[in-house]
Every structure is written in structure tokens, then in C-alpha cells.
Amino acid sequence: MNNFVLKEFPQILSDINMNIDTKEANLKLAKYDGMIEIVPYPEILTSILFYQESVMSSRLEGTIATITDILNYKVGKNLSERLEKDVTEIENYKDALGYCIKEAEENNFEITNRLIKNIQAIILNNSRGGDKLKGKYKEKQNYIGNKYDGKITYTPVSYLHTDEYMNNLIKFINSDFSGNLLIKVAIIHAYFELIHPFEDGNGRVGRILIPILLKKYNVLSTHYFYISYYFSINRTKYISSLEKISKDNDWQTWINFFVDAIEQQTSMLINVVRHLQEIRKKTELEISGLKTQFCIPVLNFLFKQIKFNTTDFIEKTGINSSTARSLLRSLEEKNIIEIEEKGSGHSPSIYKFKELYNIVEEISA
């Protein structure tokens, strides 16, 4: 352990180089933002990325389930006990992210202690770590260390001062800032992790706040930005960059990593969204050939569900049973969907939206 003491705002800003170049990252963010702005149903088009964020952020905490496992679980397929627990954690993250977005939008993106505590409570609901304090800041000292050798690498802010530090951070989050806003987001994420205010769930709460802060500061005009994929595939560097702050008071390594993560992840998002747009246009054209008044409901359903059974299709599209079954046959004939499991008796058939499911498998590994 070292003797690093976390300064409060604004004193800590004097230790940080605020002149790091973020031009390329901002240009890519602007390009991505422009793409999302013209998408008619962004929440549907990006639903696959929403799941990817939930899977990858949870994976940083030790889960192994994939998007495919989640889709299988949703259509009633049996999973191992381990994967079922993973799916619960991932679904909790997805619910917490959705809650955070809704609450932030309804409150003019004002970040509060209540919001942050509620995010953590949702994350731990009926999952591993559920024995930890939910919706409350820590009441005993926590530590960050190497899980392989048990060595403590950093002692976060004392539980006796958590409220003080969190209030100071929230004041900084909601304050006017004349500097580089992308760097401000980087600082906030690291500072939150250095406080480590909860007994469990700190990393996931911190990552959920990133798209909300980008929207709050008008770096993006929407909240449809997900970064945990890059953090997950660069896990060692993500953790070591954060550790360098407490080890060497080195903020520059972390900020450089964060800005690069934004730039690289945005490039990936641009490619995926472009591909999703192409699939949507192609599928919309194919479905319009069916001469059905339910073209948009069916299209939106396919993009949200990806894998589904007959009952789901009837209930969630609101189409009567006979028409729905006829549409499913037509979609299958056009090779838009395919049967994964043929129904029998009381068990409905299970279908998958082929082209989107292929993307799921690519980004779910």
C-alpha cells in the first residue's frame, strides 16, 4: 500500500493536465451523434448495443454469459446455474442503465446521491453481492487489490468520509466547467472509482454514468453511447491506468487511455450502427412486400427481440393470432427469420431474426 490521499475538488484539478488533445475523439463522437440523430427508432436500432454494454460491463466483474445466453434464457431455454446467475446480473445492469437514463432525462440530467444509490441497488437486486449494502454507501472500509494474490493495491476513501467526498464529487459533476468536457468525464469516472463509495457495484455504477455525463455536457445529443466493450477487451490496461493514479498520482495515463477508448469505441459503434441501418432498410423493404399494415410493428419487434417464440410475437406486436402466424410463415419463406426449434404440443416454436442474430454472435464473444 502507499500513502496516496485523494484531494477534493477543486484542489485536485491542479494535479491534472487539462490540455490533452481530444480532437479526434470529439470528431468521431460528432459523426456518431449525427448518425443516431437521423435514425427513426434509435432505442430499437441500438438495442443490440444496449445488451452488449450490459454484458461487457458485467464481464469486467467476472460474469461469462453472452448476449446469446440472454436471448436463450428469454425464450425459455435451460442454462446452467452459473449462467442463470450471470444473466440476472446482466439484466440488472440493463435495468439500472435504463433507470438511470429515464431518471436523468426527467430531472434535466441533474446527478444526485439518490440517483447513484438507486442505480447500485438495482445492480445488486437478487444477484451475487446481494448480501452487500444495497442503495447505501459503505459502512465499513473496503479495499482494492489483486484477486490472485490478495495483495491490497489501494485503500479507497474511508467510509467515515464517503458522504463528504461524494457530495464534493456531485457538486463538481453539476458545476459549470470551462475546460475540456471529455476530460471532465474521464476525471469523474476515475474519481468515483477512487472513492469506491459502495461495498459492491462501484465499477458498474461508474460505467453507467459515462453516457449520462456525455449527454449532460452536450458532448453528445443522445445517451446512446456504450463504452464497456472497449474497457472489457482492454481490461488490464483499464485497471492499470486507474491504478497509476493512486500509485503515482499519474492522471495523464488514465485520461489518455479514456480518450483513446472513446475514440476507438466510437469507431466500432459507427460501423455497427451503419450495418444495423443497412439491415433495417433491407428488412423493411422485404416486409413491405408482404402488403401488411403491421410492417413497422413487426420490424421493431424483430430488432428488439432478435430471438423469440410464437407467443412473444403475438403478445408483443398486438397482432391477432391467425394473422400473426400467417406473417411468421411469410417471414420464414422470405428467409428473414428461421425456426430454431419447432414447436410441439404446448411448446411454441422458437425463431431468430437471422441477420441481426449473426451480428449478436460477432459482438458477443
- Rounded to a whole number of angstroms, the CA Rg of the chain reads 22
Number of alpha carbons in the 13 Å side-chain half-sphere of residue 327? 27
The three state secondary structure string of the chain is CCCCCCCCCCHHHHHCCCCCCCHHHHHHHHHHHHHHHCCCCHHHHCHHHHHHHHHHHHHCCCCCCCHHHHHHHHCCCCCCHHHHHHHHHHHHHHHHHHHHHHHHHHCCCCCCHHHHHHHHHHHCCCCCCCCCCCCCCCCCCCCEECCCCCCEEECCCCHHHHHHHHHHHHHHHCCCCCCCHHHHHHHHHHHHHHHCCCCCCHHHHHHHHHHHHHHHCCCCCCCCCCCHHHHHHCHHHHHHHHHHHHHHCCHHHHHHHHHHHHHHHHHHHHHHHHHHHHHHHHHHHHHHCCCCCCHHHHHHHHHHHCEEEHHHHHHHHCCCHHHHHHHHHHHHHCCCEEEEECCECCECCEEEEHHHHHHHHHHCC
Block mean pLDDT (10 aa), the chain, length 365: 84 94 97 93 90 94 93 93 94 95 95 98 84 91 75 89 98 95 98 97 97 97 94 95 95 98 96 93 93 93 95 95 95 95 89 92 73
pLDDT at 130: 63
pTM: 0.93
pLDDT of residue 147: 61
As a CATH number, domain 289-363 is 1.10.10.10
CATH for 11-25+39-266 (1.10.3720.10, 1.20.120.1810, 1.10.3290.10, 1.20.1260.10): 1.10.3290.10
Domain regions of the chain by residue span = 11-25+39-266, 289-363
CA 128 to chain centroid, in Å, comes to: 19
How many CB atoms sit inside 10 A of residue 126's CB?
Answer: 10
